[in-house]
Structure 1
Amino acid sequence: MAIFNLIYLSCGVVGLLLLAYKIRALRSSWGSPRVVALISTVFFSAFALLCAAPANIGWINRTSGVPNFAALLVYSLVVCFAGSAFALVLYWRYPAAQAWRRVRLIVVGYASIVAAMIVLFSESEVGEERQVDFDTFYATQPTIAVFLFIYLVATMIGCGGQAYHCWQGSCDEAISTRPWLRLGLRWYCAAALFPMMFAVIKLFVLLTNWAGEHGFDVLSTTAPLMASLSMIPLVIAMALPVFGPRRPSPSLWVRRWRTYFALRPLHRALVHVNPAIVLVAPGKHLNPHHRVRRQIIELNDWRWALTPYFDLNVGEAAASLAHEASLTKDEVAAVVEAAQLRVAGSSGGRAREPVRRPAAEIVDGTDLAAEHDRWVRISRAYQHSPIVDAAVAAVAARVDAAGGME
């Protein structure tokens, strides 16, 4: 009993939290048939799980004064869940007017099933309370047999329809450009498979009971645990389309950290130009996107500050050596920039009289990814390029020779 209580109550509480979130998030859209179907789906699933906990079954039976009334309540909630879930996916796949022509059949059909279940239950002899094995204990009583049969078939059809339409919807070309929505639909499909398999197993055990075989009764007792686990993919399915697009992909997160550490040596080498602009926003220390964005902003600011001190001789020497080494155009630009920054950022570069360069020489990236790549190339050349070392050394030697001649 303890494990049944734990699983049902835990999943039911998760369902209530999801219901509260959806009601709050969709309060501006109340009146929309799609929203009503969504809220109904979560409502019926959450309360079916809560009422199915053995601890609550006993309380419901005592409060109502009707033995096994909890079975009628829980099974009715499950049928309503299956019907609302089926209606929900139809509203997702079709325009509201077109979907309603099908949904009204579901509403009438599933309402009739619940009404029939109430009549059959009231006409049955179920005086002995059975909290866990109600199905197998009363399976051979004709009215309960029909009661269970229509309940299981309705659940199987509703959840099967949900799974089918969710999978078909995820394959539509219309959402091929919305991967989070496609993934969410597939999780909705997975959420429907749990109660559908539950209904299939229970129906199989019911049929074997009619045939006088009770060796599979244990499956009927444990099958509801499988159905309760559908709350997990249901929560994931509802969260993915909302939160998925707001979260960067893990691969992008890793790439941003790699960019951060690639830029860090150059950033540290130039921080003395204006350390006052270095900033990491509160709570963003572990956010690589923010850290890289700040690095790029600060590097560009320092580069503009150093531009008047760029030495054309250094740039020409670096470009010449880079061309001799058959470097690509981007690599040549990175080597020239790195050499200029190294000299301009040194005390010797700052000692010279600044010369304002034309704006055309000050290269700023316009595309974010291109800007990241450009600064990474500059940072690596600044640290490791022998061409930068040679160009800076050559110009320094030329300056020293000129000073000696004087």
Structure 2
Amino acid sequence: MSGGTAFICSAGGLLVATLIKLWDLRKNPKDPILRAVCGTLFLGALIFVTAAPPHLAKINSWLGTPNIAAPIVYCILTAFDGINIVLLIHWRGNDNEARTRRQTRLCLTAYVVVMAAIALLFALGDAPVERLRDLDTYYATTPFIREMIVLYLAAHTVAAVTMTALCWRWSRQVPGSLRIGLLTIATGSSFAFVFDLLKYTAVVARWLGGNLDWLSTHAAFSLAGFAAPLVAAGFLIPPIGQGASSRWGMFQQFQQLKPLWLEIQSEIPRTRPKPMSWWRPMDLRLMQRERDIHDAVLRLGPYFDASTGRRVYAEALAEHAERRRARGEADASVIAGAVIAKAAARPAVNPEDRWTLTSTEDAEDLVRLSDALARSPRVQEIRRSAALTGSHT
């Protein structure tokens, strides 16, 4: 794959990611982190679009100035570095919001000044011969152009070192997808730092009368295709990972509530909508299942027998001494008995003798209640006893 094609593929991937995050931004336009992520992705894509050699030539031709594409690319790269640091500042968070704003302003101001200086130095310099791949070494000794090259490399190095150090240190303090994201950013920033070292070496070699241009035109050029996508991917991994983890957690809860949902299914009104299809969002499916359970439990309430609940609670507590688990088994046994009692058209329990469920008030307790319906031997015994009572009446 040619360098230009590789750059365009990288740009395409980053643009797709930008569009996805812009859709999220549409729903939450005031989120500073989301805005910074969109900026990071877009600038990363713009770097690859403008830095591809065929596009450099087109920019030079369109603007009618040899090599003017170079300061444009350097300014975009500098903006990318600055917004990455800003994103990391907001991502890291700070108890002092004023300090976060101050750090953001300082960072943005510094990188805007660098961008202005890059443009000024190019205007003051003289670069009449178009160089699409080796401008940094070809003009390494040209007044003002030389300073422009060193300035953009210095700004890029500061960003690379800062982000690598911060991300490595922070990654030791956090788990999961956030840690993976930070390590990915640190890896991309490390590639960026090596890119700078190769560029510095080639430029200094020119200053000393040598020629190590291949370090800049080939080795560094190859590394450039890894650094920006890795940094951008690192910022995407945590929200994607957290979203996937959240959906997986909801799916597990949805499945864990199935025994309870099946137990009380006869009490779900026929007028209620049918269960949503598997392709519908998991949060909506879980919400529907929980709503069906709560509604059915209310309909079964008049048949909750307090004597059954107290007996099972005492037995379970004596066995494993876990109050919440024992309460879950007691509630499960009461529900199991109520379903059978209502189906057999038995009279409702007197209000003063009714059991009050508490395991439906918390998601974790609701799962524990469902598990007890599926696994507890005491609940199974209540089912058998209630069924036998029904058969003798």
Give the TM-score of the pair, scaled to structure 1. 0.69
Among 319, 322, 328, which residue is 1:328 paired with?
322
1:124-143 map, 5 Å: 126=129, 129-136=130-137, 138=138, 142-143=141-142
The answer (yes or no) to whether the contact 1:44–1:80 under 8 Å persists in 2 is yes
Question: Could you list the runs of 5+ residues in structure 2 that have no partner in the other structure?
Answer: 91-98
Deviations 1:123-147 (A, max 9, x none): x6x3xx54334445x36x8427x73
Residue in structure 2 matched with residue 56 of structure 1 by the alignment: 55
Structure 1 counterpart SS, 2:2:
helix
Once the 2 structures are TM-superposed, how far is the Cα of residue 201 of structure 1 from its aligned partner? 0.7
What RMSD in Å do the two structures reach over aligned CA positions? Answer: 4.9
Where does residue 78 of structure 1 map in the other structure?
Answer: 74
**1:337 touches 1:378 (CA, 8 Å); kept in 2?**
yes
Q: In 2 relative to 1, CA 282–154 (structure 1 residues): closer, same or farther, beyond 3 Å?
A: farther
Residue 342 of structure 1: aligned partner: 336
Pair 1:385–1:275, CA change in 2 (3 A): same
Match of residue 205 from structure 2: 208
For 1:7, the equivalent position in structure 2 comes to 6
Equivalent residues of 1:309, 1:355 under 8 A apart: yes
2:292 alignment counterpart: 298
Q: Kindly state the Cα deviation for residue 78 of structure 1 after the two structures are TM-superposed.
A: 0.8
Does 1:387 find its partner at 2:378? yes
Partner AA of 2:55 in structure 1: N
Paired AA for residue 385 in structure 1: S
2:165 is the alignment partner of 1:157: no
Question: Do residues 266 (structure 1) and 260 (structure 2) align?
Answer: yes
Amino acid across the alignment from 1:199? D
Q: Deviations over 1:77-119 (max 9, x none)?
A: 3146326744884795856678767866665555344323333
Q: Distance in 2 between matches of 1:387 and 1:228?
A: 63
Residue of structure 1 equivalent to 2:124: 119
Larger Rg, first or second structure (1 or 2) = 1
CA distance in 2: counterparts of 1:336 and 1:24, whole angstroms: 44
**Displacement after TM superposition at 1:264 (Å):** 1.1
User: In 2, distance between residues paired with 1:352 and 1:83?
Assistant: 75
Does structure 1 residue 224 correspond to structure 2 residue 229?
A: no
Query: 1:119 is aligned with what amino acid?
Result: L
Counterpart of 2:369 in structure 1 is: 378
Aligned length, in residue pairs: 378
1:165-211 deviation digits (Å, cap 9, x = unpaired): 556777999xx99x999998887666655444323211212333455
What's the CA shift for 1:302? 1.4
Contact 1:266–1:379, Cα closer than 8 Å, also in 2:
yes
Q: Secondary structure at the match of 1:351?
A: coil
Alignment partners' CA distance in 2, 1:326 and 1:95: 50
Cα deviation per residue 1:147-169 (whole Å; 9 max; x = unaligned)? 3x423421232123334555677
1:362 corresponding residue in structure 2: 356
User: Aligned partners of 1:299 and 1:190: how far apart in 2?
Assistant: 48
| Counterparts of 1:400 and 1:231, CA distance in 2 | 73
Question: Between the two proteins, what is the percent identity of the paired residues?
Answer: 17
Task: Answer yes or no: is the 8 Å Cα contact 2:18–2:38 preserved in 1.
Answer: yes
Cα contact 1:339–1:388 (8 A) shared by 2:
yes
Note the alpha carbon deviations across 1:350-379, whole angstroms, 9 max, x for none.
421123535983324575xxx233233332
1:237-283 residue CA offsets vs partner (Å, 9 max, x unmatched): 66578x569x5461x44343333222212312321122436547867
Following the alignment from structure 2 to structure 1, what is the Cα–Cα distance between the partners of residues 387 and 39? 77
SS at match of 1:363: coil
Q: How much has 1:298 moved relative to structure 2?
A: 1.5
Could you say what secondary structure the match of 2:125 adopts? helix
Q: Find the aligned partners of 1:86 and 1:49 in 2 and give their Cα distance.
A: 17
Change beyond 3 A, Cα 1:384–1:180: closer
SS in 1 for 2:220: helix
